[in-house]
Amino acid sequence: MKSNSNLITVRRKRRVAWIVMSAIIMVSILFMAGTIHGRFNFKYETVEIDYDSLPAILDGFTIIHVSDLHLNSFDRHKKRLKMVIDSINSYNADIIVNTGDFVTILWDEMKPYMDILSELKARYGVYAIPGNHDTGLYSGEYNQDNYHEHLKIIGDMLRYSGYIYLEDSSAFINIDTLTISMTGVATYGRVPHLYYGNIEKARKDTEGGDFNILLTHDPNHWVKDVRYRHDINLTLSGHTHGMQIGILLPGFKLSPASLLYPAWSGLYGKNNNYLYVNRGLGTIGMPARIGMPPAITIIKLKNH
Protein backbone atom coordinates (compact mmCIF):
# COMPACT_ATOMS: atom_id res chain seq x y z
CA MET A 1 0.00 0.00 0.00
CA LYS A 2 2.82 2.32 0.89
CA SER A 3 4.56 1.45 -2.36
CA ASN A 4 1.46 2.30 -4.42
CA SER A 5 1.15 5.62 -2.59
CA ASN A 6 4.76 6.49 -3.39
CA LEU A 7 4.20 5.53 -7.02
CA ILE A 8 1.16 7.81 -7.27
CA THR A 9 3.14 10.67 -5.70
CA VAL A 10 5.97 10.18 -8.19
CA ARG A 11 3.51 10.20 -11.10
CA ARG A 12 1.88 13.38 -9.85
CA LYS A 13 5.24 15.08 -9.51
CA ARG A 14 6.17 14.05 -13.04
CA ARG A 15 2.84 15.34 -14.36
CA VAL A 16 3.30 18.68 -12.60
CA ALA A 17 6.89 18.90 -13.85
CA TRP A 18 5.73 18.16 -17.39
CA ILE A 19 3.03 20.84 -17.19
CA VAL A 20 5.47 23.40 -15.80
CA MET A 21 8.10 22.57 -18.41
CA SER A 22 5.52 22.75 -21.21
CA ALA A 23 4.36 26.14 -19.95
CA ILE A 24 7.94 27.43 -19.81
CA ILE A 25 8.62 26.20 -23.34
CA MET A 26 5.39 27.76 -24.63
CA VAL A 27 6.10 31.11 -22.97
CA SER A 28 9.66 31.04 -24.32
CA ILE A 29 8.41 30.37 -27.85
CA LEU A 30 5.85 33.16 -27.61
CA PHE A 31 8.44 35.59 -26.24
CA MET A 32 10.94 34.74 -28.98
CA ALA A 33 8.26 35.15 -31.63
CA GLY A 34 7.20 38.45 -30.09
CA THR A 35 10.80 39.66 -30.00
CA ILE A 36 11.93 38.57 -33.44
CA HIS A 37 8.69 39.08 -35.38
CA GLY A 38 5.88 40.55 -33.29
CA ARG A 39 7.38 43.90 -32.41
CA PHE A 40 8.11 44.66 -36.07
CA ASN A 41 4.90 43.21 -37.47
CA PHE A 42 3.52 46.66 -38.28
CA LYS A 43 -0.21 46.74 -38.96
CA TYR A 44 -1.81 49.43 -41.09
CA GLU A 45 -5.38 49.80 -39.88
CA THR A 46 -7.92 51.89 -41.78
CA VAL A 47 -10.83 53.28 -39.77
CA GLU A 48 -13.76 55.29 -41.07
CA ILE A 49 -15.49 57.55 -38.54
CA ASP A 50 -18.99 58.72 -39.42
CA TYR A 51 -20.28 62.13 -38.38
CA ASP A 52 -23.86 63.32 -38.71
CA SER A 53 -23.06 66.83 -39.86
CA LEU A 54 -19.49 66.72 -41.15
CA PRO A 55 -18.82 69.60 -43.52
CA ALA A 56 -18.77 68.26 -47.08
CA ILE A 57 -15.23 69.46 -47.66
CA LEU A 58 -14.02 67.15 -44.85
CA ASP A 59 -15.65 64.03 -46.27
CA GLY A 60 -12.69 61.73 -46.85
CA PHE A 61 -10.26 63.88 -44.84
CA THR A 62 -7.38 61.55 -43.94
CA ILE A 63 -5.49 61.50 -40.64
CA ILE A 64 -2.58 59.16 -40.02
CA HIS A 65 -2.17 58.50 -36.33
CA VAL A 66 0.98 57.06 -34.75
CA SER A 67 2.10 57.03 -31.15
CA ASP A 68 4.63 55.77 -28.61
CA LEU A 69 7.70 55.43 -30.80
CA HIS A 70 9.98 54.88 -27.76
CA LEU A 71 12.82 55.46 -30.17
CA ASN A 72 15.41 53.53 -28.21
CA SER A 73 13.44 50.38 -29.05
CA PHE A 74 14.57 50.92 -32.66
CA ASP A 75 18.27 50.96 -31.79
CA ARG A 76 19.99 48.72 -34.36
CA HIS A 77 16.72 48.71 -36.30
CA LYS A 78 16.66 52.19 -37.86
CA LYS A 79 15.91 50.76 -41.29
CA ARG A 80 12.63 49.35 -40.02
CA LEU A 81 11.55 52.75 -38.72
CA LYS A 82 12.64 54.36 -42.00
CA MET A 83 10.49 51.84 -43.86
CA VAL A 84 7.45 52.80 -41.75
CA ILE A 85 8.02 56.52 -42.32
CA ASP A 86 8.29 56.00 -46.08
CA SER A 87 5.09 53.94 -46.12
CA ILE A 88 3.23 56.59 -44.11
CA ASN A 89 4.27 59.25 -46.61
CA SER A 90 2.93 57.13 -49.47
CA TYR A 91 -0.62 57.66 -48.18
CA ASN A 92 -0.44 61.42 -48.87
CA ALA A 93 -2.42 62.13 -45.71
CA ASP A 94 -4.06 65.45 -44.99
CA ILE A 95 -2.47 65.49 -41.53
CA ILE A 96 -0.22 63.21 -39.48
CA VAL A 97 -0.37 63.17 -35.69
CA ASN A 98 1.88 61.60 -33.07
CA THR A 99 0.41 61.34 -29.59
CA GLY A 100 3.60 61.20 -27.57
CA ASP A 101 6.27 59.13 -25.86
CA PHE A 102 8.97 59.74 -28.42
CA VAL A 103 11.52 58.64 -25.81
CA THR A 104 11.61 56.27 -22.88
CA ILE A 105 14.13 57.91 -20.54
CA LEU A 106 15.82 61.04 -21.90
CA TRP A 107 15.56 63.40 -24.84
CA ASP A 108 18.98 62.32 -26.17
CA GLU A 109 17.34 59.11 -27.42
CA MET A 110 15.92 61.27 -30.23
CA LYS A 111 19.29 62.40 -31.59
CA PRO A 112 20.04 59.40 -33.84
CA TYR A 113 16.54 59.60 -35.35
CA MET A 114 16.20 63.29 -36.15
CA ASP A 115 16.81 62.74 -39.86
CA ILE A 116 14.14 60.02 -40.05
CA LEU A 117 11.60 61.96 -38.00
CA SER A 118 11.99 64.99 -40.25
CA GLU A 119 10.97 62.99 -43.34
CA LEU A 120 7.27 62.80 -42.40
CA LYS A 121 5.12 64.99 -44.66
CA ALA A 122 1.42 65.75 -44.81
CA ARG A 123 -0.71 68.23 -46.76
CA TYR A 124 -1.69 70.33 -43.73
CA GLY A 125 1.14 69.50 -41.36
CA VAL A 126 2.56 66.97 -38.92
CA TYR A 127 1.41 67.47 -35.31
CA ALA A 128 2.85 66.11 -32.08
CA ILE A 129 2.30 66.22 -28.34
CA PRO A 130 4.47 64.97 -25.45
CA GLY A 131 3.69 61.80 -23.50
CA ASN A 132 4.51 61.23 -19.85
CA HIS A 133 7.86 59.59 -20.74
CA ASP A 134 8.84 62.73 -22.66
CA THR A 135 8.88 64.68 -19.39
CA GLY A 136 12.05 62.87 -18.28
CA LEU A 137 10.18 61.40 -15.33
CA TYR A 138 11.95 58.04 -15.52
CA SER A 139 15.48 59.38 -15.88
CA GLY A 140 16.07 60.21 -12.22
CA GLU A 141 17.45 63.58 -13.34
CA TYR A 142 14.14 65.44 -13.37
CA ASN A 143 11.40 66.21 -10.89
CA GLN A 144 8.09 67.99 -10.70
CA ASP A 145 9.83 71.36 -10.61
CA ASN A 146 11.66 70.99 -13.92
CA TYR A 147 9.52 68.79 -16.19
CA HIS A 148 9.17 71.67 -18.61
CA GLU A 149 12.91 71.99 -19.10
CA HIS A 150 12.90 68.52 -20.59
CA LEU A 151 9.73 69.18 -22.58
CA LYS A 152 11.28 72.32 -24.02
CA ILE A 153 14.17 70.29 -25.42
CA ILE A 154 11.77 67.70 -26.84
CA GLY A 155 9.63 70.45 -28.34
CA ASP A 156 12.58 72.28 -29.88
CA MET A 157 13.83 69.08 -31.48
CA LEU A 158 10.42 68.29 -32.93
CA ARG A 159 9.95 71.81 -34.27
CA TYR A 160 13.38 71.59 -35.86
CA SER A 161 12.21 68.37 -37.54
CA GLY A 162 9.20 70.16 -39.00
CA TYR A 163 6.51 69.18 -36.49
CA ILE A 164 3.83 71.48 -35.13
CA TYR A 165 4.37 70.85 -31.43
CA LEU A 166 1.34 71.30 -29.18
CA GLU A 167 2.00 71.48 -25.46
CA ASP A 168 -1.17 72.85 -23.89
CA SER A 169 -1.77 74.87 -27.01
CA SER A 170 -3.75 74.88 -30.25
CA ALA A 171 -3.15 75.40 -33.94
CA PHE A 172 -5.56 75.93 -36.81
CA ILE A 173 -5.98 74.45 -40.26
CA ASN A 174 -7.84 76.58 -42.77
CA ILE A 175 -9.42 74.86 -45.76
CA ASP A 176 -11.30 77.37 -47.89
CA THR A 177 -13.70 78.94 -45.38
CA LEU A 178 -13.57 76.02 -42.92
CA THR A 179 -11.39 75.87 -39.81
CA ILE A 180 -10.11 72.77 -38.01
CA SER A 181 -8.72 73.34 -34.53
CA MET A 182 -5.88 71.08 -33.37
CA THR A 183 -5.42 71.08 -29.59
CA GLY A 184 -2.70 69.22 -27.73
CA VAL A 185 -2.14 68.74 -24.02
CA ALA A 186 0.81 67.31 -22.10
CA THR A 187 0.58 64.27 -19.84
CA TYR A 188 2.55 63.93 -16.60
CA GLY A 189 3.15 61.35 -13.89
CA ARG A 190 3.36 57.59 -13.52
CA VAL A 191 0.68 54.98 -14.01
CA PRO A 192 -1.85 55.02 -12.46
CA HIS A 193 -1.30 58.56 -11.14
CA LEU A 194 -1.37 60.51 -14.39
CA TYR A 195 -2.50 64.08 -14.75
CA TYR A 196 -2.91 66.39 -17.69
CA GLY A 197 -2.25 69.88 -18.94
CA ASN A 198 -4.82 72.64 -18.89
CA ILE A 199 -7.29 71.76 -21.62
CA GLU A 200 -9.25 75.00 -21.21
CA LYS A 201 -6.10 77.07 -21.60
CA ALA A 202 -5.06 74.97 -24.57
CA ARG A 203 -8.44 75.43 -26.25
CA LYS A 204 -8.60 79.17 -25.73
CA ASP A 205 -9.86 80.96 -28.86
CA THR A 206 -10.89 77.71 -30.58
CA GLU A 207 -14.63 78.24 -30.19
CA GLY A 208 -15.05 79.08 -33.87
CA GLY A 209 -13.63 75.80 -35.13
CA ASP A 210 -15.84 73.85 -37.53
CA PHE A 211 -14.19 70.58 -36.50
CA ASN A 212 -12.19 70.18 -33.30
CA ILE A 213 -9.48 67.59 -32.67
CA LEU A 214 -7.82 66.92 -29.32
CA LEU A 215 -4.48 65.15 -28.93
CA THR A 216 -3.94 63.75 -25.44
CA HIS A 217 -1.54 60.91 -24.67
CA ASP A 218 -3.58 59.00 -22.08
CA PRO A 219 -7.00 57.72 -23.22
CA ASN A 220 -8.24 57.88 -19.62
CA HIS A 221 -8.23 61.65 -20.04
CA TRP A 222 -11.04 61.26 -22.58
CA VAL A 223 -12.85 58.72 -20.39
CA LYS A 224 -12.75 61.05 -17.36
CA ASP A 225 -13.11 64.53 -18.81
CA VAL A 226 -13.82 64.67 -22.54
CA ARG A 227 -16.34 62.09 -23.72
CA TYR A 228 -19.39 64.15 -22.79
CA ARG A 229 -18.16 67.41 -24.25
CA HIS A 230 -19.85 68.88 -27.31
CA ASP A 231 -16.94 71.08 -28.39
CA ILE A 232 -14.49 68.25 -29.27
CA ASN A 233 -15.26 65.97 -32.19
CA LEU A 234 -12.29 63.62 -32.21
CA THR A 235 -9.70 62.73 -29.55
CA LEU A 236 -6.55 60.80 -30.44
CA SER A 237 -4.49 58.97 -27.80
CA GLY A 238 -1.88 56.24 -27.35
CA HIS A 239 -0.04 55.24 -24.19
CA THR A 240 -1.48 51.76 -23.54
CA HIS A 241 0.55 49.69 -26.07
CA GLY A 242 -2.23 47.15 -25.52
CA MET A 243 0.22 46.04 -22.80
CA GLN A 244 2.14 44.48 -25.75
CA ILE A 245 0.32 41.21 -25.15
CA GLY A 246 -3.15 39.92 -25.86
CA ILE A 247 -5.51 38.78 -28.58
CA LEU A 248 -6.74 40.85 -31.50
CA LEU A 249 -9.33 39.25 -33.75
CA PRO A 250 -12.11 40.72 -35.90
CA GLY A 251 -14.86 41.55 -33.44
CA PHE A 252 -12.87 40.38 -30.42
CA LYS A 253 -9.96 41.82 -28.47
CA LEU A 254 -8.49 40.96 -25.10
CA SER A 255 -5.58 42.40 -23.17
CA PRO A 256 -4.59 43.05 -19.56
CA ALA A 257 -4.56 46.71 -20.64
CA SER A 258 -8.32 46.70 -20.11
CA LEU A 259 -7.75 46.45 -16.35
CA LEU A 260 -6.29 49.97 -16.33
CA TYR A 261 -7.85 51.50 -19.43
CA PRO A 262 -11.55 51.17 -20.31
CA ALA A 263 -10.52 52.39 -23.77
CA TRP A 264 -7.23 50.75 -24.71
CA SER A 265 -7.17 50.06 -28.48
CA GLY A 266 -9.37 51.16 -31.34
CA LEU A 267 -12.42 53.38 -31.71
CA TYR A 268 -14.72 54.46 -28.87
CA GLY A 269 -17.48 57.02 -28.40
CA LYS A 270 -20.67 58.20 -30.06
CA ASN A 271 -22.72 61.31 -30.87
CA ASN A 272 -19.96 63.03 -32.86
CA ASN A 273 -17.46 62.76 -29.98
CA TYR A 274 -15.06 59.90 -30.66
CA LEU A 275 -11.79 58.58 -29.28
CA TYR A 276 -9.23 56.55 -31.16
CA VAL A 277 -6.48 54.76 -29.22
CA ASN A 278 -3.38 53.77 -31.16
CA ARG A 279 -1.31 50.83 -29.84
CA GLY A 280 1.99 52.52 -30.64
CA LEU A 281 5.02 51.66 -32.76
CA GLY A 282 7.73 51.00 -30.21
CA THR A 283 8.07 48.86 -27.12
CA ILE A 284 8.79 49.46 -23.47
CA GLY A 285 9.89 46.96 -20.85
CA MET A 286 9.98 43.66 -22.67
CA PRO A 287 11.24 44.16 -26.26
CA ALA A 288 8.38 42.07 -27.64
CA ARG A 289 4.77 42.19 -28.76
CA ILE A 290 2.79 39.00 -28.35
CA GLY A 291 -0.49 39.06 -30.23
CA MET A 292 -0.55 42.86 -30.00
CA PRO A 293 1.22 44.23 -33.09
CA PRO A 294 2.40 47.83 -33.48
CA ALA A 295 -0.05 50.00 -35.37
CA ILE A 296 -0.27 52.78 -37.91
CA THR A 297 -3.85 54.05 -38.11
CA ILE A 298 -5.32 55.62 -41.23
CA ILE A 299 -8.42 57.52 -40.12
CA LYS A 300 -10.90 58.74 -42.70
CA LEU A 301 -13.64 61.19 -41.70
CA LYS A 302 -16.97 60.45 -43.36
CA ASN A 303 -20.23 62.34 -43.68
CA HIS A 304 -22.83 59.88 -42.38
Provide the 8-state DSSP code for 225: I
pLDDT at 30 > cutoff 80: no
**What pLDDT was estimated at residue 68?**
98
10 Å Cβ neighbour count for 147?
Answer: 19
pLDDT at 11 > cutoff 80: no
Residue type, 24: I
In 3-state terms the chain splits into helix, strand, coil percentages (rounded to 5) of: 35, 25, 35
10 Å Cβ neighbour count for 113?
Answer: 22
Q: Specify whether the CB–CB gap between 217 and 187 falls below 8 A.
A: yes
Confidence band for 50, pLDDT divided at 50, 70 and 90: very high
- What mean pLDDT is predicted for residues 126-136? 96
Q: Specify whether the CB–CB gap between 136 and 107 falls below 8 A.
A: yes
**What pLDDT was estimated at residue 268?**
98
- Report helix, strand or coil for 96: strand
In angstroms, the CA 29 to CA 34 distance is 8
Residue type, 193: H
In angstroms, the CA 10 to CA 173 distance is 73
When the pLDDT of each residue in the chain is averaged and rounded to a whole number, the result is 89
**What pLDDT was estimated at residue 202?**
94
**What pLDDT was estimated at residue 265?**
98
**What pLDDT was estimated at residue 304?**
77
DSSP H helices, 181-294, are: 199-202, 219-221
Predicted confidence (pLDDT) per residue in 192-219, tens digit: 899 999 999 999 888 878 999 999 999 9
**What pLDDT was estimated at residue 142?**
60
pLDDT at 13 > cutoff 50: yes
pLDDT at 20 > cutoff 60: no
pLDDT at 27 > cutoff 50: no
- What mean pLDDT is predicted for residues 250-279? 96
pTM, 2 dp: 0.89
In angstroms, the CA 285 to CA 33 distance is 16
